[in-house]
Amino acid sequence: MTKTQVEVITSVQRRRSWSRAEKERIVAAALEPGAVASEVARSAGIHSSQLFRWRQQLCERTQVPAAFNRSQSHQSLKRRLRHLPPREPA
């Protein structure tokens, strides 16, 4: 038997609000070598399409010179996200 963690939402809000730091931390985890995006999304309690949307939005904001290829821009984003504080428990 496996143990699963369940998040109980007791507020009236229908959707959870994610801070930018939380989004960046989850996206950074998905960009790690060998990481599987759907597993990272599942462990964060979000749908994989939400993770892809956040990644797209965060990478759009990163001003990367055209000479850089995509993997270099991801490396740059990961370096910047590495310095964020750890996520606080809900």
Residue ranges in the chain modelled with pLDDT below 50? none
Cβ atoms < 10 Å from Cβ of 88: 8
- Determine contact, residues 20/31, Cβ cutoff 8 Å: no
Please give the pLDDT value at position 69. Answer: 54
User: Token digits for 66?
Assistant: 């055209």
The structure's pTM equals 0.55
Please give the pLDDT value at position 13. Answer: 66
Please give the pLDDT value at position 43. Answer: 92
* DSSP symbols for the chain: ------PPP-SS-SS----HHHHHHHHHHHHSTT--HHHHHHHHTS-HHHHHHHHHHHHHHS---TTS-HHHHHHHHHHHHTTSPPPPP-
